[in-house]
Every structure is written in structure tokens, then in C-alpha cells.
Amino acid sequence: MSTQPVAVAPVPRGALSNRVGRRALDWAPAAVVLVLALVFWQESIAVFNIKRFLAPQPSAIASAFWDHRSELLRAGWFTFQEALGGFVIGCSVAIVAALALARWRGVGRALMPYAIAANAVPIIAFAPITNAWFSPFDKTSKMAIAAVLCFFPVFVNTVRGLTSVRPASIELMRSYAAGEIDIFRRVRVPTALPFVFTALKIATVLSMIGAIVGEYFGGSFNALGVLIFSKSSTFDFEEAWAGIGVACAFGIAFYLAVAGLERLALRGAPSTEE
């Protein structure tokens, strides 16, 4: 053939500063929205004379955070550990269960109805019960809640990923006389990874919610949920709001960390490149 093959070259990776510059530009609209929202919030509370227990001004929340920053961050870290523990337990069990289900369909028929039923249970309502099981001051009681919350999305998505392999891929592997284990390792698991990461990102946020709500029903005084709950009952709303802000920050950081892992694990997949 005389003509040279023509392909779309991958986007060249420019200098680092270039990338950072483009990144900053990507985020600019969001930053503008944030600033506008804060200004609107700050001003409207003064203008409409809104009571501080309904919504304190952002500046008051910021100063409450600054005054209590070590207490708040320590509490945030404590709660994050509970969330992380629950996340690891819940996601591991979910992935192992999903692998078993995809490998042995009989296991699936035995497990799936219960997974669906378990998902219908309002897990948060179990917080007082896990407190009774593990003692409210033990991190395990909150991990249990977080783990159960994480389980279902990760389980369902992993099963979906493992079973969404194109039939032709399986035929190709069978033409190489590949066994089930080879097909699993080389086709099913890589196909499932994007699904798994989507679920893990959902689970980061769920695990923080699980840990904090679990703490509302009693927990260590070092815990963020306990702090938010007790500050709002003593009308210390600025610090309660600051606590919510810290919870958000930990949740977002957790999410971004998993998203970073995803980018690392799925290098070269079309969806992770701009």
C-alpha cells in the first residue's frame, strides 16, 4: 500500500505550566459562581435581617472555624477514620461478593434478592442498634453503618461491570483456549474497573454521611457528628455550620483522592483523557 496510514495523534502533553493554566481556566466559571453565592448569602442575611439560627453569615462561620480550627479538624479527622474504615470494609465485601456472583451464577441467585432487600432497609435507622452492638464510643459502630451504606452501590456496579463484557470478547478468548480464570483476569476485571470506580466515588460520600449520622445517635466527643449535634443544641450555630463545612471538605478530599486513583488505574481509557 502506498498511502501512509493516518491517525488522529493523541493530545500532546504540553508543559506543566500550560496544563495548570488551562486547568485554572476550566475552574474559573465555578469559582465565580462560588464567590457570587457567598456574597449574595452574606448580604441577603444582613438586608433581610435573617435570624442567625436560621442561617449565619459566611463570615461568621469562617471566623467560628478559625477560632475552633484545631477542635474541628481533629473531629473531622476522627470521623473520617470511621468513614474510611467503613468504606474499606463495605467496598471490599461488595467487590468480593460481586466477583463470586459473576463467577458462580448460582451464588448470584442465592445472594441477589437479599442484597436488594438489604438496600431497601433505611440503614440510618440502624444507627442506634449498631451503637448497642459495638458501644457508641467505639469507631466500629460507625464503620458498620458506613460499610452497609457503601455495600450496595459498589456491589451492583461491580456485578454490572463484570457481566457487561461483549460476547465477542469471550469468543476471542475462547479461541485462544483461555480458561475462566484467564477470561476473568484479562477481560472481565478490566471491563469492570470503570464501573467499580464510579461506585467507589459514590461510596466515599456515602461513608462520610453514614459516619456522621451514626454519630448523631451518640459517639465520642471527638467526633464531628457529635460536635455538630451538640453545638446546634447549645445555639452555637456558627460552629455547627463550620463543622458541616469541615465534613464537606473531608468528603470532597476523599472523593478527589479516589478520583485520582481512578485516573491512575484507567490510564489510556478514552473517558479519562480530555
- What is the SS3 assignment for 53? coil
181 interacts with another protein by CB under 8 A: no
169 interacts with another protein by CB under 8 A: yes
User: The C-alpha cell of 210 is what?
Assistant: 453514614
User: The C-alpha cell of 71 is what?
Assistant: 477542635
| Site size with another protein, rule: CB under 8 A | 26
174 interacts with another protein by CB under 8 A: yes
Closest CA to 127 of 136, 118, 119: 136
First to last CA, the chain: 33
Applying CB under 8 A, which of residues 182, 257, 260, 261 lies at the interface with another protein?
182
Closest CA to 96 of 233, 189, 220, 206: 189
Closest CA to 105 of 174, 180, 187: 180
The smaller minimum CB distance to another protein, of residues 69 and 174, is found at 174
Which residues are CB-neighbours of 271 under 8 A, at least 6 positions away? Answer: 194
Give the interface segment with another protein, choosing from 4-12, 81-89, 131-139, 228-236 (CB under 8 A).
4-12
Give the interface segment with another protein, choosing from 2-10, 13-21, 118-126, 147-155 (CB under 8 A).
2-10
Applying CB under 8 A, which of residues 62, 93, 193, 249 lies at the interface with another protein?
193
93 interacts with another protein by CB under 8 A: no
- 217 CB burial (10 A radius; 0-12, 13-18, 19+): buried
Applying CB under 8 A, which of residues 23, 69, 109, 166 lies at the interface with another protein?
166
**Cα-based angle 199, 189, 104 (whole degrees, multiple of 5):** 95
The smaller minimum CB distance to another protein, of residues 50 and 189, is found at 189
49 interacts with another protein by CB under 8 A: no
Q: List contacts with another protein (CB under 8 A).
A: 1, 5-10, 166, 168-169, 171-172, 174-178, 182, 186-187, 190, 193, 266, 268-270
